[in-house]
């Protein structure tokens, strides 16, 4: 509470100083009218405090630091679903924002964090390059690393791509967060905490075993679900459920190895030809058989509907071809090294007989999802719960009868439910205060719960729209990176449960093989250095202390 009060007072003082000309060094000899344009007013869209307190606090602290430099800036906390709509919408109507990329297992391959979120092809509205970063030199290397089949040579390219990103700073990584989550050890066993995934991953519900007569797993979330349409789902929160309702050709095991799922196997005919063999005897949840026609339709539909979230992984596909009743051939335009681990593990198998009748698939509400996955959709009450029962005909044995995905308005509500044993598992990373409270376990209130912790390859960051001033200026982005107190984020806000960020950092040390340890990221909190960078780049301060762009 003292921290929040102090920060609020600091923000008030900053506004007063800026209004009085205290934001920067007033010009000595250059008249205001001879300077460059005034820095436009900036809004950083941030998380609501109840959804992500760390992002909320860090956004406010960056706002304070930029105000000290004479920038008219504010933080605007908004709902997560609204934030997603803003940054992925057709208008690209934002200056900057705080959000995160989860470290899902398929993202251990670097293609997601190198190509999908940074390549200029993905900078159009709806694409994952929401920073609108464009660099032809980087694009060439990002393309080359996905064509390179030799893993050591590919790593060299990935390391070079990280060097360029560290220099250009398209985004500022604030921190990575340890996956500290909890489950009821007296009711369930054989629970897996996968790095980047947490406890409610695509394996735990399939392998978890009840220790009592209770066979329904109660899962807690602090974020609502925005859609049940796989073509519109853009966040991990929807996919935590959709990938259990829908099946995929391949899944990544807890050991991060590709294993057969709806496919029984695959053959790499050559660098651009992959044959995939469909498992026999599978049915969709409505009883209709799963066929190679459904597989071809699914991939074609995602490509034809330009589903931006996945297009980076679908782009290498030239055509999908049915060879026989059990074989689908993928013809690639060029070699794509992570095709098995990235493309075949992510696209859900849709029932053609349903989707080909819905008209515009992107507009389909899909209020009753029918898949062929391990769990059958029962009902969804927005803001309250999603209920799924076990698919008794699934090809793997499942020991629970289903799960309920409970949606809470705040982490405090989840903590109470944990104590009352209304919740068996959380699907998000606990806030540090709750970690300490459960660890201390005063009065034995949490004797029934087990805390687990693994490192996350994902990260939380400030995204900056490079199509807008001042973030279209590289020096301004670098200067902003020096205004982030990375130690404060980890040591204070996360209480040590995470890792430091840095300007331009995109693959962190938890992903040891692909992380370039020699990249000189901007990870020093140094407001004076930020001022020097701006001055050297031609930024000036007018007689009122307001920061101005370099004169063109």
Q: Given a cut of 90, is residue 5 above it in pLDDT? A: no
The helix (run of H) or strand (run of E) holding residue 174 is: strand 171-177
Q: Phi-psi bin for 316: left (phi > 0), alpha (psi -120 to 50), beta?
A: alpha
Specify the pLDDT at position 235.
85
Specify the pLDDT at position 29.
66
Q: Given a cut of 50, is residue 306 above it in pLDDT? A: yes
- Which of these ranges, 91-95, 170-174, 215-219, has the smallest mean pLDDT? 91-95
Residues 449 and 466 in one domain: no
The model's pLDDT over 22-48, given as tens digits with 9 standing for 90+, comes to: 454 444 568 998 999 999 999 999 999
Q: What's the chain's length in residues?
A: 552
User: What single-letter DSSP state applies at residue 428?
Assistant: S
Q: Given a cut of 80, is residue 104 above it in pLDDT? A: yes
Give mean pLDDT, residues 176-199: 93
CATH no. for residue 306? 3.90.76.10
The better pLDDT of the pair 17, 507 is held by 507
Q: Are 400 and 217 in contact (CB under 8 A)?
A: yes
Residues 76 and 155 in one domain: yes
Task: Describe the strand order of the beta sheet including 459-464 as a list of residue ranges.
Answer: 73-78, 42-47, 96-101, 459-464, 171-177, 498-503
Q: Domain range spanning residue 391? A: 179-222+376-454
Specify the pLDDT at position 50.
87
Residues 58 and 152 in one domain: yes
- For CA atoms 333, 339, 340, 342, the dihedral sign is negative
Both tokens of residue 290? Answer: 């799963």
Residues 17 and 144 in one domain: yes
Residues 64 and 186 in one domain: no
Residues 501 and 536 in one domain: yes
Q: Given a cut of 80, is residue 437 above it in pLDDT? A: yes
The domain total for the chain is: 3
User: What single-letter DSSP state applies at residue 84?
Assistant: H
Q: Given a cut of 60, is residue 2 above it in pLDDT? A: no
Entry pTM: 0.86
The model's pLDDT over 492-544, given as tens digits with 9 standing for 90+, comes to: 999 999 999 999 999 999 899 999 999 989 999 999 999 999 999 999 999 99
CATH no. for residue 540? 3.10.105
Question: What residues contact 265, with CB distance under 8 A and at least 6 apart?
Answer: 276, 277
Q: What dihedral angle (degrees, nearest 10) is formed by the CA atoms of 458, 459, 462, 467?
A: -30
- Which of these ranges, 5-14, 230-239, 292-301, 481-490, has the smallest mean pLDDT? 5-14
Share of the chain above pLDDT 90, in %: 86
3-state secondary structure string, 88-124? HCCCCCCCEEEEEECCCHHHHCCHHHHHHCCCHHHCC
């Amino acid at each position: 509470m003292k921290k929040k009060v102090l920060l609020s007072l600091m923000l008030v003082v900053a506004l007063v100083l800026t209004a009085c000309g205290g934001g920067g060094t007033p010009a000595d000899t250059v008249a205001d009218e001879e300077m460059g344009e005034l820095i436009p007013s900036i809004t950083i869209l941030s998380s609501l405090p109840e959804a992500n307190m760390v992002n909320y606090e860090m956004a406010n602290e960056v706002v304070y630091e930029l105000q000290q430099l004479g920038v008219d800036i504010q933080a605007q906390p908004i709902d997560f679903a609204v934030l997603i709509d803003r940054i992925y919408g057709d208008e690209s109507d934002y200056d900057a924002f705080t959000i995160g990329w989860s470290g899902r297992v398929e993202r251990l391959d670097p293609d997601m964090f190198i190509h999908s979120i940074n390549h200029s092809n993905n900078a159009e509205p709806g694409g994952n390059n929401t920073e609108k970063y464009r660099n032809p030199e980087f694009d060439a290397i990002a393309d080359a690393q996905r064509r390179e089949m030799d893993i050591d040579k590919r790593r060299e390219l990935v390391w070079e791509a990280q060097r360029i990103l560290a220099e250009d700073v398209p985004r500022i990584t604030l921190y990575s967060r340890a996956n500290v989550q909890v489950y009821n050890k007296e009711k369930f066993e054989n629970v897996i905490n996968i790095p980047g995934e947490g406890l409610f991953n695509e394996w735990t519900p399939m392998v978890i075993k009840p220790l009592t007569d209770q066979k329904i797993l109660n899962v807690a979330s602090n974020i609502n679900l925005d859609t049940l349409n796989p073509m519109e789902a853009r966040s991990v929160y929807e996919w935590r459920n959709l990938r259990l309702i829908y099946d995929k050709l391949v899944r990544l095991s807890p050991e991060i190895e590709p294993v057969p799922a709806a496919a029984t196997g695959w053959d790499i005919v050559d660098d651009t030809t992959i044959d995939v063999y469909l498992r026999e005897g599978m049915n969709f949840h409505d009883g209709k058989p799963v066929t190679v026609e459904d597989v071809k339709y699914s991939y074609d539909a995602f490509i034809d509907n330009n589903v931006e979230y996945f297009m980076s992984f679908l782009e290498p596909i030239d055509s999908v071809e049915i060879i026989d009743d059990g074989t689908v051939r993928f013809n690639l335009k060029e070699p794509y090294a992570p095709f098995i681990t990235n493309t075949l593990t992510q696209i859900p198998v849709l029932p053609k007989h349903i989707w080909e009748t819905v008209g515009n698939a992107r507009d389909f509400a899909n209020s009753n999802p029918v898949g062929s996955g391990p769990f059958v959709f029962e009902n969804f009450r927005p803001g309250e719960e999603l209920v799924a029962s076990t698919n008794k005909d699934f090809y793997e044995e499942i020991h629970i009868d289903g799960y309920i995905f409970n949606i809470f308005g705040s982490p405090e509500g989840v903590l109470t439910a944990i104590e009352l044993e209304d919740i068996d598992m959380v699907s998000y990373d606990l806030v540090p205060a709750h970690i300490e409270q459960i660890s201390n376990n005063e009065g034995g209130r949490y004797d029934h719960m087990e805390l687990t912790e693994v490192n996350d390859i994902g990260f939380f960051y400030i995204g900056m729209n490079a199509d807008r001033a001042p973030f279209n200026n590289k020096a301004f982005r670098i200067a902003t990176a020096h205004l982030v107190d990375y130690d404060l984020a980890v040591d204070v806000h996360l209480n040590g449960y995470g890792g430091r960020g840095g300007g331009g950092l995109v693959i962190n040390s938890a992903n040891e093989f692909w992380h370039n340890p020699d990249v000189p990221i901007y990870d020093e909190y140094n407001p004076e250095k930020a001022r020097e960078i701006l001055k050297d780049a031609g930024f000036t301060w007018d007689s009122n202390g307001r920061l101005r762009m370099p004169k063109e």
